[in-house]
């Protein structure tokens, strides 16, 4: 009889001790068991319930109703050339989220626009993208946190023109018709290249004898301006005339001199 009474008193004392400790730390165990037999019963909440050392307090993971917690990494700002030049996207080192649960965090996944991504290889476009991190515990409860990845296009367009030109003037004209063109490439998208002549004329207008320069420029879709390219057009008078009298009445040699629309030379008899 004494042994039975002693056992009951001992059990009651242990129950009272557990309850007192739980109240003291304000982290009461969800259940109390004298001899834990399952893995869930052995998963004691050591940080919140130090009295777990008595193997009496444990989290009831079989009937878990508590959501996990998760904290996303800091937001990131990266440039398109972060993983090399030539494309309008880039990968980013996102960092790692932190998650915890009263039982066990089973998975942590990243999502963009509700689609799961591989954080290490996902290509982020120019602009701001929201990444959602979701933690799921062993009971299927979830928690989410977000951060943003901002990608800046830092690559300028590159202009190529069809080369400097050295031509003779057209027959009977004080200049030449010259075919000029330019194009641009960009990692994202770029419009048509604009050319501006040093004499203010249209690009397809006659190029006068002498030197004319063209300044080519363009801006991409993200407002990055290309380095201006200069194209040089040189027109040479190739007409050859014997000694003649000029329109001013003087006699001289018009060889290699501009004539026609530029300067009139009047032929005269030298004999």
Of all residues in the chain, what percent carry a pLDDT higher than 90?
61
Q: What stretch of H or E contains 235?
A: strand 229-236
Where is mean pLDDT largest: 20-29, 36-45, 187-196, 241-250?
187-196
Place of tokens 């701001």: 128
- Output the pLDDT for position 19: 58
Which tokens go with 52? 């777990």
pLDDT interval class at 18 (50, 70, 90): low
Question: Could you tell me the residue ranges of all domains in the chain?
Answer: 2-63, 69-152, 158-236, 239-271
- Output the pLDDT for position 52: 47
Pairwise CA distance, residues 148 & 124, whole Å? 11
CA angle, 139 as apex, 137 and 142 as ends, to 5°?
A: 45
Place of tokens 């000694």: 243
Region 112-117 average pLDDT: 97
pLDDT interval class at 84 (50, 70, 90): confident
The one-character DSSP state at 45 is: -
69-152 and 158-236 in the same fold: yes
**What does DSSP say about strands 229-236 and 210-217: parallel, antiparallel, or unpaired?**
antiparallel
Place of tokens 């052995």: 42
Burial class (CB in 10 A: 0-12, 13-18, 19+), 245: middle
- The per-residue pLDDT for range 213-259, each reduced to its tens digit, is 999 999 999 999 999 999 999 999 987 554 444 444 444 444 444 44
pLDDT interval class at 72 (50, 70, 90): very high
- Output the pLDDT for position 189: 95
Q: What stretch of H or E contains 213?
A: strand 210-217
Region 149-161 average pLDDT: 97
Q: What is the CATH number of domain 158-236?
A: 2.60.40.10
CA atoms within a 13 Å half-sphere pointing along the CA-CB vector of 87: 9
pLDDT interval class at 265 (50, 70, 90): very low
| DSSP structure string for 157-184 | -EEEES--EEEEPPTTSSEE-----EEE
Per CATH, the architecture of 69-152 is what? Sandwich (2.60)
Which tokens go with 158? 């590159």
């Amino acid at each position: 009889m004494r042994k039975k009474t002693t056992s009951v008193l001992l059990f009651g004392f242990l129950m009272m001790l557990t309850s007192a400790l739980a109240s003291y730390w304000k982290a009461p165990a969800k259940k109390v068991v004298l001899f834990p037999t399952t893995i869930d019963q052995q998963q004691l909440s050591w940080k919140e319930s130090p009295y777990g050392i008595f193997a009496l307090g444990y989290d009831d993971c079989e009937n878990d109703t508590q959501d996990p917690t998760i904290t996303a990494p800091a937001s990131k700002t990266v440039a398109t050339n972060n993983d090399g030049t030539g494309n309008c996207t880039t990968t980013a080192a996102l960092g790692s989220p932190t998650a915890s649960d009263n039982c066990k965090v089973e998975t942590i996944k990243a999502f963009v626009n509700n689609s799961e991504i591989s954080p290490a290889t996902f290509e982020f476009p120019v602009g701001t993208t929201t990444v959602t991190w979701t933690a799921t515990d062993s009971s299927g409860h979830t928690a989410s946190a977000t951060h943003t990845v901002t990608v800046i296009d830092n690559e300028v367009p590159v202009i190529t023109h069809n080369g400097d030109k050295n031509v003779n003037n057209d027959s009977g004209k004080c200049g030449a018709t010259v075919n000029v063109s330019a194009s641009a490439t960009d990692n994202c998208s770029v419009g048509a290249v604009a050319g501006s002549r040093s004499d203010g004329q249209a690009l397809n207008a006659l190029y006068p004898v002498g030197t004319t320069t063209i300044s080519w420029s363009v801006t991409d879709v993200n407002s990055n301006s290309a380095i201006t390219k200069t194209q040089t057009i040189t027109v040479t008078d190739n007409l050859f005339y014997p000694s003649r009298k000029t329109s001013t009445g003087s006699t001289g040699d018009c060889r290699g001199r501009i004539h026609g629309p530029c300067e009139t030379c009047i032929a005269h008899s030298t004999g």
